[in-house]
Structure 1
Amino acid sequence: MAGGRGRWTATVIAVVVVLSWLVVGGVAGPYAGKLGDVATNDNASFLPADAEATRAQDLAAGFVDRETTPALVVYERTSGITPADQQRVQADTARFAELPGVVGPLPPPIVSEDRQAVQVVVPIDAAEGEQIGAVVDQLREIAGADRDGLTVDVAGPAGLLADLIEVFTAIDGPLLLVTLVVVLVILLIVYRSPVLWVFPLLAAGMSYSLAALFVYLLAKNDVIKLNGQAQGILTVLVFGAGTDYALLLIARYREELHRHERPWDAMRAAWKGAAPAIIASGATVIVSLLCLLLSSLNSNRALGPVSAVGIAATLLVMLTFLPALLLLGGRWAFWPRRPRYDHADPRTEHGIWGRIAGFVARRARTVWIVTAVVLAALALGVTQLGATTLGQSDLFTQRTDSVAGQEVIARHYPAGTGSPATIFTNQATAQQVAQVAQGVRGVSSVRPFSRQGPAGPPEVVDGRVQLQATLADPPDSNGAERAIRELRVAVHRVPGADAVVGGFTAINVDTADASTRDRNVIIPVVLLVIAVILAVLLRALLAPVLLIATVVLSFLATLGLCALIFKYLLDFPGVDQSFPLFAFVFLVALGIDYNIFLMSRVREESVRRGTRAGVLTGLAVTGGVITSAGIVLAATFSALAVLPLVVLVELGVAVAAGVLLDTIVVRSLLVPALAYDIGPTVWWPGRLSRTNRDGDRAGTEVADAH
């Protein structure tokens, strides 16, 4: 295209693209607020089908007309329960039984041995799903507030689920608002323009709307399972990654505006230069996230496609909608620092990064050795990580009603009361299994289940009997999980019993075991996939191996640093079993982005200048944008800290710390210093490792000049 006609055609194309996307945004936008309608937060539904707890659930269905999730309403008066208190409990119990969703008749209230507490077990129809939270809210309304020294709390599995639902229901508004504000502030600082920040933020919002539409449709049609955790991560991932891609494209566009008079030509050159790196980066993240489909946990399998859909939508928007917006803005989009058509060397706009490149060149070997040693030292902190299954009292950053109630139960009853382990065994061996179970450390009592109450005859279904084992420790504690493992070993040894152990604690045990298995399977697959993508992109084998080694070292250093932060700064008891896998997938998949951004530009410059000069130029021109992108991504993930869930706070801190470590240390010092020290051999066995030796000698002279 030439002259005015070319400008007119380019403008028309840009306008059509922008208007088309605005129509799409108008259709997709409302679905961002509907994701909570299709989310599920029942831990049991995420277990693998072959888990023992899952088989126990299937067997339990035959012993009851309806599956239930118990809520435990506990009343406490430390000076002793009075007759008036007992009357209040009886009146409340009668009203509980009348609630829709409550499965009656209710068992009689249980007075503790020290007569300081009364507990009412309220079975709630498990088929209610998300409505369990609404039933618990009604229980809390009926029970009322603390009064005259009598405290009332609703705990148990249903109380915990209700508190989780309340947290996840609040994700859409506060988390999205905090993320938007964080991105806006950083973009204003980075661009120092009252105009330019609008473009990436508008494109990121469009990406989120499009992703929400697809995720909603997939979840509504049961193609994937969406939970609150995946919903929260989707928000920060789309805005964080989307802003990263926007920063890279805008930086390249600004650079090309110095070389091309017409914005159309500049954008075409910028798109051609930046799109391969953005596409490779997005593809790496998508494929890495899809590796979660190998997980045995449905919750992990849900997170993978949900996040991958978010990245795919972001790629599509950032490579079409954003360029069109920038074209319409032209040079004025950068006001007041508009780039001129002057053929300026791009390195002249990056003075501080030129100086850093010079420092790396002069001390390359020292730089990469020292940074590698520092990262390795941080990695030693992994020994303090303390991976465990977080108990109910450790799950929230705030003290919830279910946590307070569980603490009351632990003070006055065997802590497992109301949430027993269930043992299913053949009728002929039931008595022997009960005796063996009673002898297991951590088991307080064992009794057969009867529809007619504790005094009734044992229920027999298809030749099987259900035993209920009350545990001494809280059902979500390490002690309870240890008791379940020992209980399973003991009852499995009874000949002919075909015993199966389930219940709330057993679900946690099987979830933890599945998480360990997933970590051992998925991490190697992710590394292999990333290695293949890097090898194709860089057309080399040595460079991908070195880059993956730096990412793994950075990941271990991040875990070590987080262990120290969690233990000594935030006073968290440990991390959940799922934390290492989630942290790995997000840190490695996102961390490799910056490797791709840097090394794809280094390779491009190496073709023209030689490897060592290419390393210095690549570092100088991408250092600022990569660091800005890292700060944006770290800030968006740190927005997870507004949610009162320890698991998401820990993940947000880990990704934020890891990304900052990656951009400031690994990508700015370790990788360029290592590549500079190795020289052209870094591209082995590609042709570039053999054809730019002369250019590399010129690059050494450039380094000396720095």
Structure 2
Amino acid sequence: MTSDTSHVAAGPPEPTGGPWRAHARVTYALRWPIIAFWIALAALAVSFPPPAVAGASGAGSLMSADGEAFKTEVREMEVFGFPLFSRTVVVQRDETGLSPYVQAESVLDAVAVNQREPRPPLLGALPMPNAVTFGAGQDERGTTVLTYLFMDPRTDFGTQHTESRVYAQQNLERQEDHVIGVAGSIPARAQQAYILGLHLPTLELLTLVAIFVIVAAAFRSVVVPFIALGASGIALVITMWVVTMLADLLGVSAPAELQPVLLALLLGVVTDYTIFYVTGLGTAFGRGTKDRRGAVTSAVTTYTPIIVAAGVTVAAATLSLVVARSAFYRPFGPAMAVTILVGLFVAITLVPAIVAVLGRGVFWPRRRAGIASMAQPSRWMAAMVSGLSRKTPAVAALVVSAVVLTIMALPMAGMILKAGFTSSLPDDNTVKRAAVAAAEGFSPGITSPTSVLVHGPGITDDLDGLIDLQDRVAEQPGVAGVVGPALSMPQFDLGVFTNDEHDTARMLVVLKDAPLDGTAVQTLSRLRETLPDLAADSGLQVEHIGVGGDTALAADIIDGTLDDLGRLALAGLAVNLLILIVFLRAVVAPLYLLACNVLSVAAALGLTTFVFTNLLGEDGITFYVPFASAVLLVALGSDYNIFGVGRTWEEARHHPLPKAMAIAMPESSKAITTAGVVLAVSFGMLATVPLSAFRELAFTMAVGILLDVFVVRTFMVPALLTLVGQKSAWPRKSLRAVPDRSIDAPTPASV
């Protein structure tokens, strides 16, 4: 018996009816109208783009109205009229020394702003020369002048950044002023948005080229990648239109930081679904189906329910982000769900229609013999499944895989989160160079100081107590210096720091570390906890102490993210588990499949932590990277469970489980491996965006997908199916719905 006929005998019977076969027949019959419809719809989306959504940007878009930093900033504006901290600072520096004239002029320029009637968004300015020693760690004097610009927080960060540049151009235009640039979180986020917009076309092009090369090599065809990219392109155009319209209607949009993720996700999943349809077509032709209609109908009938279940799984899992309380994550869930659903709808209609038109031409220039070989299972996977069908090798494979993944996951326990808007920028970026210059003249935390607001009855009358509190704060670990009631520089009025009418005082705290990175956030969290005790030790009668500024905001974002972790984990795992249970009609198998996914995700996050913090020395992992990647990786892992184990379950309805594994897993491994590599490359291309957050996200996603494909899917799942056996189907007694009528047929593993 030839290998072809062996496989035919061992394969599942052709579906004879049902909605999926009806879907296959309809898409075949209407193939030309379907193609015309999608092309016309994409053309309309391009011709009539929706209006751009003016979503909130800058720090304000990340704030929670319930966060301490937000409440402190609102209170500070009410009491003093402008915040003491600033998110925008103009940096002048000459390492050989700024002339006294330049320093004086910079101070006078700032004073002039304060003396005029406020013209929003610029409300005031605060000059800070390093002519005197500011605090611990300051090694220079007379080399740097910082001018903090106080902006109306209700204006978007683009407007604020533009106003800061206008200030520098109008007041510090001379060469001898030595203006390095504008630093702070507002300019940093403006630069991030600019860099994303600048590199997005390159990201798209490189991703498309990579997908083309991988798919062409896998199928030895130049037509298959064109089908994948054509479907992906149409899905992308329509998805962006739909997402933008929904954002306009609902008044929310996905954060700019995560929008390239939508691109990588859409290109990856539509290509994956194309790969499975084309694999099914090749298998049908390879098994001897002669006519195009029969082969297309067989492939579409077989794979559409699997693709639909997989797409719905990813969409539902990402939609679970709506349970988050953080304003950063909530809009991202619907945006990802819409992206997946549009891509899914395109994949199950347009791709079968194109395949129906082309028939064997899909595989050009591959010849008939080459197409026939597509029905042959992966020999190395057949050997692997054959080996893992015995309990001793299965136990060994499971233990080794679990130990390796656990070791990879260990560094995750020491993960530190950061916001890192400035540190994420390239070293040659003007905003980052300005921040570095400010740090050299003062301290790294000088670009975004922290405001401490102290309220209590008669507290402004106790100047000695306030000065003592200022001194105590300055002595805390991680604090470089404090500006407050004890300030003796003549250009500052004490009224800047106290308000008798509201019984409120404030001070400005500068940290030793970059204000939005992990170490600074930890320092501020400790300071928040100790401030009440420090105030009591200073003899102050305090009713409330609030902390505002960028580091406080970052701490609130990270605390909110961690607070969301539990509900996001429960919601995401529950959704994935429920869909696996429904699809597989079992409980035990979904439980251990999901456990394997979670372990591989933990390994990817642990490896990311080790590489970026231990090896590359970054001060933490960007706060949204672990959680966005975990949601996606668990969902995509369930996606591959449905592709891989779903085929095994289908075969197990007709054969004993070991034989079903021997038939289905080698058969599906080629498609899963190709699909996994494509998806990993799609996300890996995010690293071409020169922002450290995207390098972290690209690494996590690529490693997580590859671990799932080559460790979980190759070793752990076959081993668990062998060891758990028919109990995997619980509460059903058996996977088999009909007697095995081909028990004597050789399996692919024995061919």
Q: TM-score of the superposition, structure 2-length normalised?
A: 0.83
Equivalent-residue separation in structure 2 for 1:697 and 1:395 (angstroms): 60
* Mapping for residues 284-303 of structure 1, pairs under 5 Å: 284-303=313-332
* Mapping for residues 30-45 of structure 1, pairs under 5 Å: 38=54, 40-45=56-61
**Considering only aligned residues, what root-mean-square deviation do their CA atoms show, in Å?**
3.7
Change (3 A) 1:32 1:551: farther
The aligned residue for residue 25 of structure 1 is 42
Equivalent-residue separation in structure 2 for 1:254 and 1:141 (angstroms): 65
Change (3 A) 1:697 1:100: farther
Is 2:97 the counterpart of 1:80?
yes
The aligned residue for residue 543 of structure 1 is 589
Counterpart selection for 1:439 from 472, 475, 478: 472
The aligned residue for residue 170 of structure 1 is 198
Q: Which moved more, 1:565-574 or 1:673-682?
A: 565-574
* Mapping for residues 55-94 of structure 1, pairs under 5 Å: 55-63=71-79, 70-83=87-100, 85-86=102-103, 89=106
Change (3 A) 1:642 1:464: farther
The aligned residue for residue 397 of structure 2 is 367
The aligned residue for residue 188 of structure 1 is 216
SS of equivalent to 1:126: coil
Equivalent-residue separation in structure 1 for 2:370 and 2:127 (angstroms): 84
CA contact (8 A) 1:346 1:621 kept: no
Equivalent-residue separation in structure 2 for 1:93 and 1:612 (angstroms): 78
Shift of 1:261: 3.4
Shift of 1:340: 8.0
Shift of 1:322: 1.2
The aligned residue for residue 3 of structure 1 is none
Counterpart amino acid of residue 44 in structure 2: V
SS of equivalent to 1:49: coil
Change (3 A) 1:338 1:448: farther
The aligned residue for residue 705 of structure 1 is 750
CA contact (8 A) 1:393 1:399 kept: no
Equivalent-residue separation in structure 1 for 2:329 and 2:599 (angstroms): 24
Counterpart amino acid of residue 654 in structure 2: R
Counterpart selection for 1:484 from 509, 524, 527: 524
Is 2:499 the counterpart of 1:454?
no
Equivalent-residue separation in structure 1 for 2:27 and 2:100 (angstroms): 84
Q: Which moved more, 1:310-319 or 1:394-403?
A: 394-403
Shift of 1:636: 0.5
Is 2:411 the counterpart of 1:411?
no
- In the TM superposition, what whole-angstrom CA distance separates every residue of 1:505-564 from its partner, at most 9, and x where no partner exists? 210111111111112321132122211111111011111111012112212222233233
The aligned residue for residue 669 of structure 1 is 715
SS of equivalent to 1:422: strand
Is 2:151 the counterpart of 1:124?
yes
Change (3 A) 1:426 1:544: same
Change (3 A) 1:349 1:234: same
Equivalent-residue separation in structure 1 for 2:434 and 2:604 (angstroms): 36
Change (3 A) 1:540 1:499: same
Equivalent-residue separation in structure 2 for 1:154 and 1:177 (angstroms): 32
The aligned residue for residue 274 of structure 1 is 303
Equivalent-residue separation in structure 1 for 2:411 and 2:329 (angstroms): 26
Is 2:591 the counterpart of 1:552?
no
CA contact (8 A) 1:611 1:692 kept: no
Change (3 A) 1:672 1:462: farther
Is 2:156 the counterpart of 1:112?
no
CA contact (8 A) 1:292 1:300 kept: yes
Counterpart amino acid of residue 516 in structure 2: D
CA contact (8 A) 1:449 1:467 kept: no
Equivalent-residue separation in structure 2 for 1:604 and 1:156 (angstroms): 57
SS of equivalent to 1:555: helix
Change (3 A) 1:108 1:471: closer
Equivalent-residue separation in structure 2 for 1:696 and 1:199 (angstroms): 36
Shift of 1:150: 4.1
Counterpart selection for 1:388 from 417, 433, 436: 417
CA contact (8 A) 2:82 2:124 kept: no
- In the TM superposition, what whole-angstrom CA distance separates every residue of 1:141-180 from its partner, at most 9, and x where no partner exists? 6688996894622112333233222223325322222222
Q: Which moved more, 1:71-80 or 1:464-473?
A: 464-473
The aligned residue for residue 638 of structure 1 is 684
Identity %: 25
Change (3 A) 1:483 1:568: closer
- In the TM superposition, what whole-angstrom CA distance separates every residue of 1:78-117 from its partner, at most 9, and x where no partner exists? 2221256448747986999999865255445635321111
CA contact (8 A) 2:188 2:421 kept: yes
* Mapping for residues 653-664 of structure 1, pairs under 5 Å: 653-664=699-710
Q: Unpaired runs of 5+ in structure 2?
A: 1-23, 133-140
Counterpart amino acid of residue 603 in structure 2: A
Counterpart selection for 1:465 from 498, 504, 507: 504
Counterpart amino acid of residue 658 in structure 2: R
Counterpart amino acid of residue 251 in structure 1: T
Q: Unpaired runs of 5+ in structure 1?
A: 1-6
The aligned residue for residue 17 of structure 2 is none
Tell which has more relative contact order, 1 or 2 (C-alpha 8 A, sep 6+): 2
Is 2:660 the counterpart of 1:614?
yes
Shift of 1:478: 4.7
The aligned residue for residue 48 of structure 1 is 64
Change (3 A) 1:515 1:696: farther
- In the TM superposition, what whole-angstrom CA distance separates every residue of 1:195-244 from its partner, at most 9, and x where no partner exists? 22211111111111121012111223344232222211111111011111
The aligned residue for residue 15 of structure 1 is 32
CA contact (8 A) 2:377 2:748 kept: no
- In the TM superposition, what whole-angstrom CA distance separates every residue of 1:23-81 from its partner, at most 9, and x where no partner exists? 1101223688986x645442332233211112123323424667895421111122221
Counterpart amino acid of residue 308 in structure 1: A
SS of equivalent to 1:48: coil
Change (3 A) 1:324 1:353: same
Counterpart selection for 1:233 from 240, 252, 261: 261
Shift of 1:291: 1.7
Counterpart amino acid of residue 488 in structure 1: R
Q: Which moved more, 1:481-490 or 1:73-82?
A: 481-490
Equivalent-residue separation in structure 2 for 1:194 and 1:477 (angstroms): 46
Equivalent-residue separation in structure 1 for 2:397 and 2:324 (angstroms): 39
Counterpart selection for 1:283 from 300, 312, 316: 312
Q: Which moved more, 1:309-318 or 1:564-573?
A: 564-573
SS of equivalent to 1:128: coil
Equivalent-residue separation in structure 2 for 1:105 and 1:213 (angstroms): 41
Equivalent-residue separation in structure 2 for 1:680 and 1:463 (angstroms): 72
Change (3 A) 1:38 1:177: farther
What is the aligned length? 695
CA contact (8 A) 2:580 2:638 kept: no
Change (3 A) 1:323 1:101: farther
